[in-house]
Amino acid sequence: MVSVVAILLVVIIFFPNTFIDTVSFFDIELRNSSKYYSSIDGKKGWKRLDMGPFTVDIPDDFRYIKRNSPEGVIGDIKGRGTRIYFNHGSFIGYVTNLQESDINQNIYSFSSDTVNNTIRLLAIPKNGGSMSIQVEDYTQEKFEDEWRTFYGVEMITSSKTYDEDLVLNIFKTIRLRN
């Protein structure tokens, strides 16, 4: 165990920007790992982030931050002052909860779309706040007690300021694998 820690410290000290930007107790920020990124034909300045159960296209200068979780694929996408949290698995859904609250009808604009067996629910704040999307595979919808759960991915901006058009362009590229 001591030798593993020593090797890790040597790598961090002598090669701090090779593959790992930040190491903390909860997450690892990955910069150039070919395990997650691939180029996109005809879309210069963008790369595809492959998370296994889903893919999403992000600008070349954005990075994926892996979070450790036993309950699915979670993490962040970060760049240009924007941070987008994502969660993939089976859950109730943040946008669904926002839509069901009457008070949020004055705070958010909601839209939905159905594409390739997926339902996309989008919540855009009217006066600042977090933008959210929920992409669910409606073939795997379930009801547990009184709660409707879905299988898919949700993304939420977690930075106070962000480029709304850029975030919408990222959200449009989410693709679930069946």
126 in any annotated domain: yes
71-111: pLDDT as tens digits: 778 899 999 999 999 998 877 678 888 888 877 888 899 99
133 in any annotated domain: yes
Look at the chain and report how many structural domains it folds into: 1
Q: What's the domain range around 23?
A: 17-176
Report pLDDT for 36: 79
Given a cut of 60, whether residue 163 has pLDDT beyond it is yes
Report pLDDT for 99: 84
38-80: pLDDT as tens digits: 788 888 999 999 998 999 999 999 999 988 777 778 899 999 9
10: Cβ contacts below 8 Å, ≥ 6 apart:
none
3 in any annotated domain: no
Per DSSP bridges, beta strands 73-79 and 63-67 are: antiparallel
4 in any annotated domain: no
- Quick one: which of 112, 99, 91 has its CA closest to 154? 91
Specify the higher pLDDT residue, 147 or 96.
96
Given a cut of 70, whether residue 1 has pLDDT beyond it is no
107 in any annotated domain: yes
* pLDDT band with cut points at 50, 70 and 90 for residue 159: confident
Report pLDDT for 14: 47
Assign residue 52 the CATH number of its domain: 3.40.1000
7 in any annotated domain: no
1 in any annotated domain: no
Helix, strand, coil content of the chain in percent (nearest 5): 20, 50, 35
111 in any annotated domain: yes
Report pLDDT for 156: 93
**Rounded Cα distance, 178 and 173, in Å:** 16
* pLDDT band with cut points at 50, 70 and 90 for residue 9: very low
